[in-house]
Amino acid sequence: MPTPRARGAAPAAAASRPVTMADVAARVGVSKMTVSRALSRTGGEGRRSAQLLRERILQTCREMGYVIDQTARTFSTQRSGFIAAVIPSLNNSNFSETAHGITAAVEGAGLQLLLGYSDYRVENEERLLRELLARRPEGVILTGGSHTPAACAMLRASGIPVVETWDLPAQPLGHTVGFSNAEATASLVRHLHAQGYRRIAFIGGTSNRDTRGADRRRGYTEAIRELGLSEGRVISFGQPPISMAQGAQALAQLLQQWPDVDAAVCVSDLSAFGALAECQRRGWAVPQRIAIAGFGDFEVGRNCHPRITTVAVDCEAIGRAAGELLLRAIDAVRIGAPLPPETVLVPFHIEPREST
Amino acid sequence: MPTPRARGAAPAAAASRPVTMADVAARVGVSKMTVSRALSRTGGEGRRSAQLLRERILQTCREMGYVIDQTARTFSTQRSGFIAAVIPSLNNSNFSETAHGITAAVEGAGLQLLLGYSDYRVENEERLLRELLARRPEGVILTGGSHTPAACAMLRASGIPVVETWDLPAQPLGHTVGFSNAEATASLVRHLHAQGYRRIAFIGGTSNRDTRGADRRRGYTEAIRELGLSEGRVISFGQPPISMAQGAQALAQLLQQWPDVDAAVCVSDLSAFGALAECQRRGWAVPQRIAIAGFGDFEVGRNCHPRITTVAVDCEAIGRAAGELLLRAIDAVRIGAPLPPETVLVPFHIEPREST
DNA sequence: CTGTTAGCGCTTTCAT
DNA sequence: ATGAAAGCGCTAACAG
């Protein structure tokens, strides 16, 4: 049945309006439903004549340059076929590896990953989430456990499964895949203590914008206290994302304020590398004059000289686990039996290198 | 008008079905249209009573955790409200800055950016594009000028504006925002020549997966020839994304194969940094024993010691220009007067630092 | 200013 | 195995 407005039958010309399923059906001389079924059926058995018809339909689609309208399909089936993930920053190998892991986990299930980044701000996360949820993702993966009340409300109202990653929130919104940033940093401090370091400082951000950073500082403080070391050697710089340049600045400030310091634990490998480079610029031997440790096992820390002792986390595994958990949760919702909240702990380990 | 299936009126309980506009309308006691208008109208003048009603509607939306169904809206208006961009890699500050620039340019126009990454493979790009185009983006931004024939066909058939970035393709699909990677690398070689270097090598990838890398190598070769320097000093390593570790390996190979080399031009700052660290490990002074230059002005090259001479490109400007151009093209299509193909050249410059 | 009606392109359901 | 009708949630167009 041709629609009122004229639709070009030209094979692949940039039509003013895209070709619809009805156009294809009209051309083949069948109903829309037959085309719909030909496109969705995976290629079943059927009669010989049906097989041929199906082939003819697919061929016609190709000829006409027809691409199924996923927006209409989504609308009709109430299944968008994608999941949303919000990460703090694109330009951070930890999070981009996590995104890879998510992709790997969900692509087999025919779901697409839609990515957004918050620049480490919960307000941005809220805005992003509003836009993302408006497109009806089948599930959401978040980084960290800190969100605005409005964001939490939207997430709850959406009724879709949520996985929080990279952290162990006290009150999870749904499922969790992560580790204790505080515990990991405390392990690192204990490792340095075992190596003989006693005047250990911490270099990190000030704000609570980066809650993982704050957790790491807390882990440092707790370990220092527990080991009976002298406290208070904490240098704070500005807002995340923590940069190499900030690490360099912080190191300069650190050595001016506490010249006796013998080791610096940095909130990430990026700031650790900045601190390391600053030492090289000043001619201070690392680790002889001062030891430097980081967090996250970034490429730069594995490849610089000396290489940086760090806390290694399997970022891609976080993504894979989050993706798999979300998949199970989505299936569970679909059959009407929501999954009770689960927590997956991912392991971390200290990677001793030449910088300490 | 309540729909057949029961819908919980509970404020923010995890409803099995998301709240719809009809639910909100029923709660407020108006029609769907009034809610629709209250949500879409920017906040005009109107009567005092209408103002109050609008406020009450918005408040009810908030209370009920209502999020507009963008899929239905898209379907109804035939405007998806998003643009798609494909970048080679997430974990590359050049491309993530470009993505930032795109976001900055389009968010004012009420468009959302949907990001995909191809891992430097045109086949991945094609697959991604198929899924993206099925969701009816209003425009597409691509990285580079190399795509599969099928991808080009889909793009053309979609009839939506396309911008290619980071390159100057010989046969653009639509609009272009970029610079000549070959010319930029040639400039760098001429800069090194002016500094007195004569036995200049190139470290880069082998494959044509990274066409920008291949262009840079071509620029190197042309400049070497033009300057009458000795040719052939090219070390190639594996597949992109080019890594720091590959740069280190390549440097070792380079010095073994051509011990007389006095400068190395690397395909990116990442491989340049790997090469630099390898020199430090071997105790070879940079730039005295060998000078090292990179491409892209990455954070690591600005912060390491010595800092790396590089070709600086304003990546965010590429994104902004691409976003603005796409916006104009989308508007032009909407009024039925497609924009003729445009090309925007973004500037680059040599950033001399201590590594040369 | 507000309500009513009629689709957007597809799939589901039921009939043939 | 195929077709016809209904409807997913929203908005454009028109009526009041």
Cβ atoms of A21 and A35 within 8 Å: the answer is yes
Mean pLDDT, to the nearest integer, of A65-74? 85
Q: Does the structure show a pLDDT above 50 at B263?
A: yes
- Asked if residues B300 and B346 have their Cβ atoms less than 8 Å apart, the reply is no
**Which CA distances in Å does B354 have to A133, B276, B288, B314?**
49, 12, 10, 21
For residue A12, name the pLDDT band (cuts at 50, 70, 90).
Answer: very low
Per-residue flag: B76 CB under 7 A of strand D: yes
Tell me the pLDDT tens digit for each residue of B140-159.
999 999 999 888 888 887 88
Dist. CA A185–CA A179, nearest whole Å: 11
Distance of CA B262 to the CA centre of its chain: 34
pLDDT, residue A75, reads 83
Do residues A95 and A186 share a domain? no
pLDDT of residue B43: 57
| A144 and A200, same domain (yes or no) | no
Cα–Cα distances (Å) from A53 to A32, A48, A59, A308, A351, in that order, read 13, 9, 10, 64, 61
* Nearest Cα residue to B112 out of B74, B152, B56, B158: B74
Which CA distances in Å does A333 have to A174, A326, B12? 13, 10, 18
> Are B280 and B187 in the same domain?
yes
Residue A208 pLDDT greater than 50, yes or no? yes
Measure, in angstroms, how far nucleotide D13 C1' is from residue A327 CA: 43
Do the Cβ atoms of A149 and A101 come closer than 8 Å?
A: no
Higher pLDDT, A143 or B334: A143
For residue A6, give both structure tokens.
């004229």
Report the C-alpha gap between B60 and B28 in whole angstroms. 7
Kindly state whether residues A189 and A202 are assigned to the same domain: yes
Q: Looking at the predicted structure, is the pLDDT value of residue A104 above 80? A: yes
**B129 shares its domain with B170:** yes
CB-CB contact of B65 with A157 (8 Å): yes
Q: Tell me if A121 is assigned to some domain.
A: yes
The pLDDT mean for chain A works out to 88
**pLDDT given for residue A98 in this prediction:** 96
Size of interface A-B (CB pairs under 8 A): 144
Give the separation between CA A163 and CA A174, rounded to whole angstroms. Answer: 6
Give the pLDDT mean for B32-47.
76
User: What whole-number distance in Å separates Cα of residue A135 and Cα of residue B72?
Assistant: 9
Q: Please, which pLDDT band fits residue A4 given cuts at 50, 70 and 90?
A: very low
Q: Which pLDDT band, with edges at 50, 70 and 90, does A232 fall under?
A: confident
B176 with B320, same domain: the answer is yes
Q: Give the SS3 label for residue B326.
A: helix
Whether A305 is in a domain gets the answer: yes
Q: Which of residues 28-67 of B touch strand C (CB under 7 A)?
A: 30-34, 37, 44, 46-47, 49-50, 53-54
On whether both A188 and A174 belong to a single domain, the answer is: no
Residue of A70, A77, A83, A281 to mutate, interface with B, max B Cβ within 10 Å: A70
Nearest by CB to residue A96, choosing from B64, B91, B159, is B91
State whether A94 and A139 are in the same domain.
yes
Share of chain A above pLDDT 70, in %: 93
Mark whether A320 and A173 lie in a shared domain. yes
| Mean pLDDT, residues A260-278 taken together | 96
User: Rounded mean pLDDT of A207-236?
Assistant: 88
Query: What pLDDT does residue A329 have?
Result: 94
pLDDT confidence of residue A231:
81
The whole-number average pLDDT for the span A193-212 is 88
Query: Tell me, what's the pLDDT at A11?
Result: 35
Lowest mean pLDDT among A38-42, A55-59, A193-197: A38-42
What nucleotide is nearest A75 when CA is compared to C1'? D8
Which residue is closest to D7 in terms of CA–C1' distance?
A76
Taking contacts as CB-CB distances below 8 angstroms, the residues of chain B near A16 are 159, 336
Determine contact, residues B21/B15, Cβ cutoff 8 Å: no
Per-residue model confidence (pLDDT) at position A44: 55
pLDDT band at residue B70 under the 50/70/90 scheme: confident
Residue at B117: amino acid letter: Y
When pLDDT is averaged across residues B226-253 and rounded to a whole number, the result is: 89
Tell me how far apart the alpha carbons of residues A308 and A294 are, in angstroms, rounded to a whole number. 7
Query: What's the confidence (pLDDT) of residue B13?
Result: 36
Boundary (domain end) residue, out of B6, B41, B69: B69
For B265-309, write each residue's pLDDT tens digit.
999 999 999 999 999 999 999 999 999 999 999 999 999 999 999
Instruction: Report the CATH number at residue B293.
Output: 3.40.50.2300
Domain assignment present for residue B238? The answer is: yes
Structural domain total, chain A: 3
Within this chain, do residues A260 and A188 fall inside the same structural domain, yes or no? yes
First to last CA, chain A: 76
Rounded to an integer, what distance in angstroms lies between the CA atom of residue A205 and that of residue A241? 9
Chain A residue closest in CA terms to B87: A90
Is residue B44 over pLDDT 70?
no
pLDDT band at A196 (very low <50, low <70, confident <90, very high): very high
* Distance of alpha carbon A146 from alpha carbon A124, whole angstroms: 12
Residues of chain B with Cβ-Cβ distance to A92 below 8 Å are: 91
Give the least confident one: A276-290, B13-27, B126-140, B218-232. B13-27
Structure tokens at B109: 């126009």
- Mind listing the pLDDT tens digit for each residue in A13-54? 344 567 888 888 888 888 888 888 888 876 555 567 778 888
What's the pLDDT score for residue A9?
33
> What pairs with residue B203 in β-bridges?
B235, B266
Mind telling me how many Å the CA of B222 is from chain A's nearest CA? Answer: 31
For position A140, what pLDDT does the model report? 96
CA distances from A98 to A91, A316, B117, B338 (A): 12, 4, 14, 40
**Least confident window among A29-33, A349-353, B216-220, B305-309:** A29-33
Full domain range(s) for residue B134: 80-180+316-347
Residue at shortest CA–C1' distance from D8: A76
A7 in a structural domain: no
Residue-level pLDDT at B42: 62
**Within a 10 A sphere around the Cβ of B54, how many other Cβ atoms?**
19
Closest nucleotide C1' to the C-alpha of A74: C10
- The mean pLDDT value for B127-148 works out to 90
Beta strands in A48-199 (DSSP E): 82-87, 112-117, 140-143, 162-165, 175-178
A217 with A294, same domain: the answer is yes
Tell me the pLDDT of chain B averaged across its residues: 88
Kindly state the average pLDDT of the residues A313-337. 93
Mean pLDDT of B318-333: 95
Rounded to 5°, the CA angle A317-A323-A326 comes to 135
Whether residue B4 is contained in a domain is answered as: no
B186: in domain:
yes
Q: Assess whether pLDDT exceeds 90 at residue A192.
A: yes
Residue A14 lies in a domain: no
pLDDT tens digits for range A297-323:
999 999 999 999 999 999 999 999 999
Helix, strand, or coil here: A356?
Answer: coil
- Give the pLDDT score at B200: 96
Instruction: Report pLDDT for A238.
Output: 77
A61 and A173 inside one domain: no
pLDDT cut 90: percent of chain B above it: 56
